[in-house]
Structure 1
Amino acid sequence: MSKDLLFTAALNKGQALLPEMHQLAQHWQPGITARELAQQALATGYLGRATEARIRDVVAVFSRRFLRGQPQPAAYLHELAQHLPVTGLFTEVCLLHTAAAHPELLVFLQEVYWPAHYAGRPSLPKEAAQEFLHQAQKLGRTGSDWSEGLTERTARRLTGTLTEFGLLGAPDRQGIRLLRPFQPHPETVVYLAYWLRELKLDVRALIAHPLWQVLGLRAGDVLPTLRRLALHNWLTVLTAGDLLRLEWHYSSPTALLHDLTQRSLHAVA
């Protein structure tokens, strides 16, 4: 998740894959392995008529993003996928964990995408992602020199992934992609706070975590945003001089998400 982690070309196996991730999250169960998940998908056909090799690739993408670490994000995506469609909160939670699993995507958001937004630029040029990866190789972020073909493919996957997540528009004839307006749902922001809490971070490390930048929150934005979230009774922010404390109103992200999904269902109804 840090800039010290090596970039990979893993996005070439799949970009956002939101419908597939939603299906796999619904069928995931605690303790199931990636191999068992792939066998189940092959046996039942719930991922459609894809080849066996493609299904195994898609499950490998799910595993990389949502089955690593403790707690496993798959548990929280399962709660969301059981109740919500492939939009809004589900999509944004997938974006967070996809960026966490792919350092090249996280750093592209930090160093290219959001600075362009902050500067008021309307679009990203065709060359933006490719130049970013060339610079990454010069800085040793890829661990080795990539061929020009691999660099070009990975650059397309970077911008294609952000397009599928709704942060960029489709390319025009010159390959330029419009920067789409993006404002994370309050529920996504509070989910991230609860998920970072599960990593046993102290309050200041939690507030300084790089994943806030995925949602467009700069360092000075996080604490004011959490204070606004406190109005929803999801948590409490306590400050006194240099002291800062967060009080959590739910025992776990699962308890939080159960409440959030019920609120969303009632809002739709």
Structure 2
Amino acid sequence: MTTTSYSSMLNAGIGMIDATRTMLNLWQPGMSGVDLYKAALESGLFPNITARRLQNFIKECFGPRYLVNKGGPSKILKTIESTFSSREFNQLLFIYTCRESRILNDFVRDVYWGAYSSGRETISNEDALLFVIRANQDGKTVKPWSEITLSKVAGYLTASCADFGLLENGQRSIRKILPFRIESRLGILLAYDLHFSGHGDNSVLSHSDWGLFGLDRSDVLNELKQLALKGWFIIQSAGDVTRIGWQYQSMEEVIDALNKR
């Protein structure tokens, strides 16, 4: 669930995917953010990160994204970390990040996919800045942001998209748009995650998380039909009503099956 107002705290997670993996290895169920910070300091595994940045990383990035719901996201990430590809793993990080960050969520939908669908080849910090300025004017921030903050957040948005593979990486103000398609195992994981979160079958198909990958309801249905051919679901569709036969009874069963394929 994304927060209701736009936040400027995306910077705490930029360039920190490797650190996220390391932090997940340190984290154990029941650990709070404070416990994790102490463990991280004592581990010596972050020699190039200052204590202050490490604390900010846990408080503003790792905690809100991966320690919510009693650490549910971290539990899933830990169980797939060794068997999923980097692309698959990073896509799951992307989903959790966009669930927490409304500004990145909206930027991906409005700017990235808008540019992609119109055939553009690049997105610039200027594009991001215009998006942030409009959001500021529309009252989507808790309080008006200064010009400096607006500019910084614009850079955070494009850098975050680069981290997750939507845009070209590197220090640049104009980035190439990269093809971004949901991986099959991520589609399975996301569908079951939504199902076990209490969504009905048609709600699963139309959930906003799919839009992060440029998919609408009909796209999702087609994706799941393809996956059904491999035994992950049973799909019965008539008109606007679709029923899904879920083949696994818990997220643990799903992940175990995914890890074996």
Q: TM-score, normalised by structure 2?
A: 0.92
Which residue of 2 is the match for residue 80 of structure 1? 80
When normalised by structure 1's length, the TM-score is 0.90
The answer as to whether partners of 1:79 and 1:254 remain within 8 angstroms in 2 is no
Instruction: Please state whether the residue corresponding to 2:242 is helix, strand or coil.
Output: strand
Structure 1 residue 170, shift from structure 2 partner? 3.6
Structure with bigger RCO (C-alpha 8 Å, 6+ apart): 1
Equivalent AA in structure 2 for residue 214 of structure 1: L
| Number of matched pairs | 260
1:193 aligned partner = 191
Aligned residue among 181, 200, 207 for 2:205:
207
Stretches of structure 1 lacking an aligned partner (at least 5 in a row): 264-269
Calculate the aligned-residue CA RMSD, in Å: 2.0
What does residue 120 of structure 1 align with? 119
Structure-1 separation of matches of 2:78 and 2:166: 24
Match of 2:68 in 1: 68
**Per-residue deviation at 1:158?**
0.5
**2: CA distance, partners of 1:66 / 1:207:** 24
Q: Secondary structure at the match of 2:229?
A: helix
Separation of aligned partners in 1, 2:29 and 2:233 = 27
**Residue among 225, 228, 238 paired with 1:227:** 225
* Alpha carbons of structure 1 residues 172 and 95: separation in structure 2 relative to 1, 3 Å: closer
1:37 aligns with 2:36: yes
Determine whether 1:261 maps to 2:253: no
Identity %: 29
Task: Indicate conservation of the 8 Å contact 2:66/2:96, yes or no.
Answer: yes
1:43-67 CA distance string (max 9 Å, x none): 1122334222122122221111011
Q: Which residue pairs with 2:214 in the alignment?
A: 216
Q: How does 1:3-14 map to 2 (within 5 A)?
A: 5-14=4-13
1:239, CA displacement in angstroms?
2.3
Structure 2 unaligned spans of 5+:
none
2-structure distance, mates of 1:22, 1:172: 23
* Partners of 1:71 and 1:198 within 8 A in 2: no
Change (3 A) 1:48 1:198: farther
1:23 corresponds in structure 2 to 22
2:160 partner amino acid: T
Change in 2 beyond 3 A, CA 1:150/1:77: same
Instruction: Return the alpha-carbon distance in structure 2 between the equivalents of residues 124 and 243 of structure 1.
Output: 38
Supply the distance in 2 between the matched residues of 1:23 and 1:141 (Cα, whole angstroms): 34
Contact (CA 8 Å) 1:16, 1:165: kept in 2 or not? Answer: no
- Residues 44 and 193 of structure 1: CA distance in aligned 2, closer, same or farther (over 3 Å): same
Is 1:140 aligned to 2:115, yes or no?
Answer: no
